[in-house]
Amino acid sequence: MTPVSQSLSGKHAVVTGGTRGIGAAIVELLSSHGARVSVISRSDRAQIQADITDRDSVQRAFDTAREQSGPIEILINNAGEGKSAPFLQTSADLWRQMLAVNLDGTFYCTQAALGAMLDANWGRIVNIASTAGLTGYKYISAYCAAKHGVIGLTRALALELALKGITVNAVCPGYAETDMAREAVDNIVRKTGRTPEQARADLTSRNPQSRFVSPAEVANAVLWLCLPGSEAITGQAIAVAGGEVM
């Protein structure tokens, strides 16, 4: 890819879950502005395979990323998973899975990347949370709890690093045109007998623009938080959701 700008030239970015959907859009956009991007994912399409719910796997992956492309200056914690169930049907395994993927993984990856940022007195950490981290939704209590945790972690770490040249922010998409949204549509169709069109309308009903957001729109917000000029933006949870959460 020929960069459209050199704004991030020389910066090494790690994107977790970067092989599809929002993650792939972020990888493409950061690369287009000159960043060297390492993609870490469970997928065999990733440059570096890892299970972000396992601390040792994360450490090995980040060591590999550093060996291949140098110190990590930008971290995008994008990998995540959402599953639904009524609260009383939320098993302990489902609860732990949602916390492990969405919150523990963010914790492990941030710890693995932070040392080099502190050494350089510069860094950008962007956590892909969700509007489910800003408000409640029925039938996804475990996912909501995990994403609220991500936003709490974002705010606490932003304060801890405020004098270190490192910003920490969260980007909070609403329903986006991703595999996760398609799975949610399929789940509604299967459980309620509604048509896919009716299921999509139900999911977008809280969005004042009455639509899913695109992965590119989420990636644009991430890019802005990494570009020069965003230094004063830290500890924020920015909704990309058509006005759904204000």
Same domain, 85 and 136: yes
Same domain, 100 and 164: yes
- pLDDT at residue 80 in the model: 94
Q: For residue 187, what are the domain limits? A: 177-212
Q: Mean pLDDT throughout 64-88?
A: 96
Q: Mean pLDDT throughout 216-220?
A: 98
Q: What are the tens digits of pLDDT across the range 28-43?
A: 999 999 999 999 999 8
- pLDDT at residue 121 in the model: 98
In a domain, 70, yes or no: yes
Same domain, 144 and 50: yes
In a domain, 246, yes or no: no
In a domain, 2, yes or no: no
Q: Mean pLDDT throughout 203-225?
A: 94
In a domain, 75, yes or no: yes
Q: Parallel, antiparallel, or unpaired for β 12-16 and 48-49?
A: unpaired
Q: Which CATH number fits the domain that encloses residue 98?
A: 3.40.50.720
pLDDT interval class at 2 (50, 70, 90): low
Q: What are the tens digits of pLDDT across the range 114-165?
A: 999 999 999 999 999 999 999 999 999 999 999 999 999 999 999 999 999 9
| Average pLDDT in the chain | 94
Is residue 139 part of the annotated active site? The answer reads: no
Same domain, 101 and 219: yes
Distances in whole angstroms, Cα of residue 42 to Cα of each of 19, 38, 105, 110, 191: 9, 13, 12, 17, 29
Q: What percent of the chain has pLDDT over 70?
A: 99
Q: Annotated catalytic residue: which of 108, 137, 139, 143?
A: 143
pLDDT interval class at 46 (50, 70, 90): confident
Q: Are 58 and 112 in contact (CB under 8 A)?
A: yes
Same domain, 229 and 136: yes
- pLDDT at residue 1 in the model: 60
Same domain, 43 and 115: yes
